[in-house]
Structure 1
Amino acid sequence: MRRRGVLRAGAAGLLGLGVQSIFPAWAHSGSHGLRAELPTLTGQDIRLRIAHDMFKVGGRAGHAITINGVLPAPLIRLREGQNVRLHVENALDEDTSIHWHGLILPFHMDGVPGISFPGIKPGTTFTYEFPVKQSGTYWYHSHSGLQEQIGHYGPLVIDPAGAEPAPYDREHVIVLSDWTFLHPHQVMVKLKQKGGYFNRQKQTLLDGTMTAAERANWGRMRMDPADIADVNGSTYSFLINGHGPAENWTGLFRPGERVRLRFINASAMTIFNIRIPGLPMTVVQADGQHVRPVETDEFQISVAETYDVIVTPTADQAFALIAETIDRSGMARATLAPRLGMVAPVPALRPRPTLSMRDMGMGGMDMGGGGTCAPEHAAMGHCTPGQPAAAMQHSMRDKASVPASVDVGVGVDMIAPMPVDRTGDRPLGLEKEPHRVLTYHDLAPLVPFHDTRPPARSVDIHLTGNMERFMWSLDGRKMNEGAEPIRFERNERVRVNLINNSMMNHPIHIHGHFFELVTGQAHGHPVKHTVNVMPGGKASFDLTADAPGDWAFHCHLLYHMHAGMMNVVKVRPLDDGGAA
């Protein structure tokens, strides 16, 4: 439905019609999820039109950017081994682009303006053309400005050329996203003008989650233990397939069926914790790559990650699908049911978690005086030997031990003194849940990574920022402001160590490559294209730089990337022998 149609429907009071009409067929509530019924874009030639539109949620309408007039964008379904041409028409009054997230393709088809191609000018059409070399669940989105925030994203599913390792009877694509009626540039201005602008869950005197000593220590460090999400439920509506919580998107099933749920976190800024109370989930794929089936009751999906799970509901009842935000400021909610109109109880939001010393890169150090100053902490100047830990003289701005590779300036307000590998940690707020919670350590590849060589060298990359001024960078250098490209020799094997010197989660994504996430588990390392690096922690991955060209490397929190947390990975030589 075009803009005038949406406005007409709203004027007539047909809210339900106005909302439904802008959804693609696969995202309609009451979807059977049977592959034959899902109108998709498929074949060798696919046409996409990017244009301004209107979108309604929660009884309000706002400006959106849609693809083929719908939000989320159409489901593109391809098959491993085929060739595809995607003709993208730009009907906007500004440049645009499409990045094919997680796809292995020539770098000039990757869709990042200024890095791999010049972008798509208004009134022009650009044709992406590449062979499809993989299978799995992926997605596509704009890499131009902040367009992704206002609707420029959609799902992409690639069926395997051979047998499906995790067979299923029906499937539902679950696209998670966050929506605000503020223009994204207004959001950015507010983030820059005042630290914690959107945080309405700050600590109070009556908050019983901390002792007085802990509260005093946080105050001395000028850190906010409730600063978990930069943008949250104070402005966001959280969507599943374009539907807000009250609109209750519903996916149907027959009891006893194996139902595949393809989760895609297409949010700009929101990390979700996913659970279906009363229904275990078996994870079979992560970031489009098959994993050994592992059953869990809850998992966290960071921005830009995808997870495929199989559920087998045997009872003739409805189940609530809950996507709770990491800071508990809201949730997206949907229903799985045998029949349309059935609902399940929706649990209340759980209590808001708070950050700890571990989230500040200080290991297990005690904020409240429960222990004494350890020698290793004393050697770093954080406390006095033999004195209670509460007497620690924390200064996260003490940069005496900063690595030489980090450019320390106004854009770096914190250096984690003792970052540790946190890939096996339960996510924030889920540490004490009685049920099973997935961690990266639970993921094992179904097929080992193709390159078994040990890394020939290692590279440290520090994730840096100034939370109060909303400045974000890699190694203290913002993109296009003195950041030297990251250079890899073609086909070299490199260990990349991501060191998070901030109290924020950072989902780090590399274009054009998959990597082995180093977990140290005997069952092998999961293969991914995005890894969430927990606050004050480290994550390492082994990369085979086998894709020549220039590739984006960045935090996938949209406003972090926009603020400068991005760089270019250059893999040389090129296929044509060029070395520039």
Structure 2
Amino acid sequence: MDLRVILPRRSFLAGAASLVAGTALPVPAWARGMTVPTAARGFGSLSGEDIHMEIGRASFGTGGRSGHGFAINGTIPGPLVRLREGQNVRLHVTNNLDEDSSIHWHGLLVPFQFDGVPGVSFPGIRPGETFSYEFPVRQAGTYWWHSHSGLQEQAGHYGPIVVEAADGSDSRFDRDYVVLLSEFTPLHPHEVMRKLKVGEHYFNYQMQTATEGDMPLAERVMWGGMRMNPRDISDVTGSTYTFLVNGHGPADDLEFLFRPGERVRLRVINGSAMTFFNLRMPGLPMTVIQADGQDVEDVTVDELQIGVAETYDVVVEPGEGAHTLVAEAMDRSGMGVATLTSRPGRRAPVPPLRETPTLTMADMGMASMDHGAMDHGSMGHGSGNDGAASAQPMSHDMRDVSKLPPDVKAGPGVDMVAPMPANRMDFPGLGLDSVDHRVLHYTDLRSKRPNPRRAPDRQMEIHLTGNMERYMWSFDGSKFSAVTDDPIRFGYDERVRVTLVNNTMMAHPIHLHGHFFELVNGADELHQPLKHTLIVQPGSKAVFDLTANEPGDWAFHCHLLYHMHAGMMQTVTVRPFPETA
């Protein structure tokens, strides 16, 4: 089978049933629904040329919370899929649910009809049927897989991918561990969505009172006048989430063993639905060697923020004893915890949650009002600010949608516009801008392998838009359901410089399927780092260069699950298809 022969989208979707076959094999007990009380925590490993995965319902519990879940091969998270660069793989996925399902191979370069997005690249996997994905493995690195159907990803339908490098370079480490960060809620995902639609602050128990903190009065008046709150950081919080490491809550005492002096590689994956994590191991530096599965020049830090759907590979060299791995939610409403230890059962102290961070005018797209220096620690944190910067005229109101460009649909789904969005590629993430240790910035990342030298053929701008009160999210003011017949169009092999403008006061991890793009982060053009997911900070701009060399139809979306579900998604189409031999 020539996997480079790709059908036009409509012809493929019309005939895709030929790739799906009902299974006549006996269904395992764990896959028949709620017959098994609780799915196993953690994951096994699958490898080989033919890999079989079965999706079933289960319950899941940790830390005193239990609820509905989707188990793949009986575990939550699902199994580690271990591949080899250069191999051909066939992944046979059987859906034992009573609803459609799917698997998207996040970050893997695959023919579009095997990308796993219902309604974009294939019709989905119907109840009782099996879909076989088949493709060559064209890369190495750390990736992950997850459902792209409904809200199944929130309830356990996800797992890690490790692709071993063909050159044997992975063997230079003494230990190699996957660290999959996620979260669990006892609420059904559709109930979470319903509560967000009823009130976007439903899960937020950290809102500021009228007298809390040292924010100047004039600034409080401005926030109030725009009906916004400077603690509006995470839509879903530790009030309902238990934060997980490899499916284990903080009370489960998850351990990663090592011998003193070993070089330990941690493949960190943010497989959560909604949570940005700030990752650190107090007293133990981390050297970042890969971002989104792609090699970068070594950067040593003490802490990094990992957005939803990003991956970072880090190397640590722990000494005798124990080191606590802390994955603290960005809003500091909870944390995932594990231990690196040289002796089973040995523990290090778990640090307390740090103070909840507070948004500033820079997060509202008013960077010049924040002393023009991106200093998030300077406002509302006892810096001695006298409020003069806040006493600007209300013409800077973030609610003034008349400031939007004409190609952005300024309807009921848009109630925010960043008046002065600035490039914030050097911002390390909320809560990490005022710590006294080394943190990772996107501007630290440099590709280890030179990129082809090529100037963009054209430029385009895409606005990230939303109405937080109505919980509506979109690109350019249009929800996905309204733009399916008007995709973002790229010519095959066209190189485009894309500017993302975040008109909202929330960070969005934006993911493009089927491609890697180059961050325009200040590195020279030969060493711009490759990524598939990019955090666009509140009220900011972010820029990437894309060479559209993967033909087909691809999803482009915010990877905050409920934002995508509420409309922040588009289709990217790359045409024409190249001639094949």
Please confirm whether the aligned pair reaches a TM-score higher than 0.5, indicating the same fold.
yes
Matched, 1:344 2:344: no
Does the CA-based 8 Å contact 2:34-2:58 persist in structure 1? no
Question: Residue type of the partner of 2:430?
Answer: L
Deviation for aligned residue 1:482: 3.8
Map 1:311-390 to 2 at 5 A: 311-314=316-319, 316-366=320-370, 389-390=390-391
Runs of 4+ in 1 over 4 A off after TM superposition: 1-10
Question: Residue type of the partner of 1:557?
Answer: L
**1:506 — aligned with what?**
508
Question: Taking structure 1 as reference, are residues 204 and 493 closer, same or farther at Cα in structure 2, changes over 3 Å only?
Answer: same
Aligned with 2:450: secondary structure? coil
C-alpha separation between the residues in 1 aligned to 2:65 and 2:206?
25
**1:469 — aligned with what?**
470
Residue among 292, 298, 301 paired with 2:303: 298
C-alpha separation between the residues in 2 aligned to 1:215 and 1:334?
39
Residue among 42, 50, 62 paired with 1:23: 42
Aligned with 2:534: secondary structure? strand
Deviation for aligned residue 1:7: 8.9
Residue among 64, 68, 81 paired with 2:86: 81
Residue among 417, 425, 439 paired with 1:423: 425
Question: Taking structure 1 as reference, are residues 343 and 417 closer, same or farther at Cα in structure 2, changes over 3 Å only?
Answer: same
Does the CA-based 8 Å contact 2:109-2:514 persist in structure 1? yes
Map 1:492-571 to 2 at 5 A: 492-522=494-524, 524-571=527-574
C-alpha separation between the residues in 1 aligned to 2:314 and 2:252?
23
Aligned with 1:219: secondary structure? helix
Larger mean CA deviation between 338-347 and 485-494 belongs to 338-347
C-alpha separation between the residues in 2 aligned to 1:67 and 1:8?
15
Does the CA-based 8 Å contact 2:36-2:58 persist in structure 1? no
Map 1:145-544 to 2 at 5 A: 145-164=150-169, 167-314=172-319, 316-366=320-370, 389-393=390-394, 394-449=396-451, 451-482=452-483, 484-522=486-524, 524-544=527-547
Question: Residue type of the partner of 1:402?
Answer: L
Matched, 1:137 2:138: no
C-alpha separation between the residues in 2 aligned to 1:224 and 1:119?
39
TM-score normalised by the chain length of structure 2: 0.89
Deviation for aligned residue 1:213: 2.2
Deviation for aligned residue 1:391: 4.5
Residue correspondences, number? 534
Does the CA-based 8 Å contact 1:166-1:284 persist in structure 2? no
Question: Residue type of the partner of 1:406?
Answer: V
Larger mean CA deviation between 267-276 and 522-531 belongs to 522-531
Question: Taking structure 1 as reference, are residues 9 and 469 closer, same or farther at Cα in structure 2, changes over 3 Å only?
Answer: closer
Deviation for aligned residue 1:122: 0.4
Larger mean CA deviation between 149-158 and 480-489 belongs to 480-489
TM-score normalised by the chain length of structure 1: 0.89
Larger mean CA deviation between 204-213 and 273-282 belongs to 204-213
Question: Residue type of the partner of 1:468?
Answer: E
Residue among 61, 64, 67 paired with 1:62: 67
Does the CA-based 8 Å contact 2:147-2:153 persist in structure 1? yes
C-alpha separation between the residues in 1 aligned to 2:352 and 2:150?
36
Does the CA-based 8 Å contact 1:178-1:239 persist in structure 2? yes
Question: Residue type of the partner of 2:252?
Answer: E
Question: Residue type of the partner of 2:536?
Answer: V
C-alpha separation between the residues in 1 aligned to 2:129 and 2:279?
40
Deviation for aligned residue 1:389: 4.5
Deviation for aligned residue 1:167: 2.2
Question: Residue type of the partner of 1:76?
Answer: V
* Unaligned runs of at least 5 residues, structure 1: 11-17, 26-39, 368-386
C-alpha separation between the residues in 2 aligned to 1:567 and 1:216?
36
Aligned with 2:193: secondary structure? helix
Over the matched positions of the two proteins, sequence identity in percent amounts to 60
Question: Residue type of the partner of 2:442?
Answer: Y
RMSD after superposition: 2.0
Deviation for aligned residue 1:399: 2.4
Does the CA-based 8 Å contact 2:106-2:145 persist in structure 1? yes
Larger mean CA deviation between 394-403 and 155-164 belongs to 394-403
C-alpha separation between the residues in 2 aligned to 1:502 and 1:399?
12
C-alpha separation between the residues in 1 aligned to 2:33 and 2:54?
18
Does the CA-based 8 Å contact 1:170-1:260 persist in structure 2? yes
Does the CA-based 8 Å contact 1:3-1:54 persist in structure 2? no
Does the CA-based 8 Å contact 1:473-1:479 persist in structure 2? yes
Question: Taking structure 1 as reference, are residues 76 and 204 closer, same or farther at Cα in structure 2, changes over 3 Å only?
Answer: same
Aligned with 1:480: secondary structure? helix
Residue among 24, 47, 52 paired with 2:52: 47
Question: Taking structure 1 as reference, are residues 531 and 9 closer, same or farther at Cα in structure 2, changes over 3 Å only?
Answer: closer
Larger mean CA deviation between 399-408 and 147-156 belongs to 399-408
Does the CA-based 8 Å contact 1:463-1:498 persist in structure 2? yes
Question: Taking structure 1 as reference, are residues 213 and 261 closer, same or farther at Cα in structure 2, changes over 3 Å only?
Answer: same
Deviation for aligned residue 1:6: 12
C-alpha separation between the residues in 1 aligned to 2:553 and 2:35?
46
Does the CA-based 8 Å contact 1:22-1:69 persist in structure 2? no
Question: Residue type of the partner of 2:469?
Answer: E
Question: Taking structure 1 as reference, are residues 478 and 3 closer, same or farther at Cα in structure 2, changes over 3 Å only?
Answer: same
Aligned with 1:564: secondary structure? coil
Question: Residue type of the partner of 2:475?
Answer: L
Aligned with 2:268: secondary structure? strand
